C-alpha cells in the first residue's frame, strides 16, 4: 500500500518542500499547509531562542493518531507532520503540517484539526529563552 502518512520529529531544519512532495498527488486538487515559526516576542517579552524537548516515542504515536483521524474522518488523502526538537532560533520552523485532499475544504479542516490537536496532545515541551531568564511555556497557570 502507498504510504499516506509521514511523521517526523527531528533536530535538523524542517523543509516545506519535503512535506509538500510527500502529500502532493495527481488525484488531489487542494493542499493546505501550516507552518509554525518561532516568534521574536511573546506577551511583549523579547525571545532569543526556544528549546523543544520531546518524549519522542510517544510523540510519534500521538502524531500518528492525529494523522489517522485526518485521513479516516476529515477527508485528507495524505498528511505530513514534521516537528523540530532541540534549539530553534527566531523565524525558524518549529512545525510543518501538510495535508492534501480532493477538495480544499477538507484539506483546510484536517490541517487545522491537526495543529490544534498536536498542541493539546503531543508530548513536546517548549522552553522560551528571554534576555533575562528562561521558562517552560504553559507549565503554570
Contacts (Cβ under 8 Å, ≥6 apart) of 53: 85, 124, 125, 127
Member of 20, 108, 125, 129 binding another protein (CB under 8 A): 125
Give the residue carrying C-alpha cell 479516516.
72
- Establish if 9 lies at the interface with a copy of itself (CB under 8 A): no
Tell me how crowded residue 92 is: count the other CB atoms within 10 A of its CB. 14
- Establish if 35 lies at the interface with a copy of itself (CB under 8 A): yes
Member of 10, 61, 64, 104 binding a copy of itself (CB under 8 A): 104
- Establish if 31 lies at the interface with a copy of itself (CB under 8 A): yes
Member of 3, 12, 27, 138 binding a copy of itself (CB under 8 A): 27
Cα(97)–Cα(56) distance, rounded to whole angstroms? 17
Amino acid at each position: 500500500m502507498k504510504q499516506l502518512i509521514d511523521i517526523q520529529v527531528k533536530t535538523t531544519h524542517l523543509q516545506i518542500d519535503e512535506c509538500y512532495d510527500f502529500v502532493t498527488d495527481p488525484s488531489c486538487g487542494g493542499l493546505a499547509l501550516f507552518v509554525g515559526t518561532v516568534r521574536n516576542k511573546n506577551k511583549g517579552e523579547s525571545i532569543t531562542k526556544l528549546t523543544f524537548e520531546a518524549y519522542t516515542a510517544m510523540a510519534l504515536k500521538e502524531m500518528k493518531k492525529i494523522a489517522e483521524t485526518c485521513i479516516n474522518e476529515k477527508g485528507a488523502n495524505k498528511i505530513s507532520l514534521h516537528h523540530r526538537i532541540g534549539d530553534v532560533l527566531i523565524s525558524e520552523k518549529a512545525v510543518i503540517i501538510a495535508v492534501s485532499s480532493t477538495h480544499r475544504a477538507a484539506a483546510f479542516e484536517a490541517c487545522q484539526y491537526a495543529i490544534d490537536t498536536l498542541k493539546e496532545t503531543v508530548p513536546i515541551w517548549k522552553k522560551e529563552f528571554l534576555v533575562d531568564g528562561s521558562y517552560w511555556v504553559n507549565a503554570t497557570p
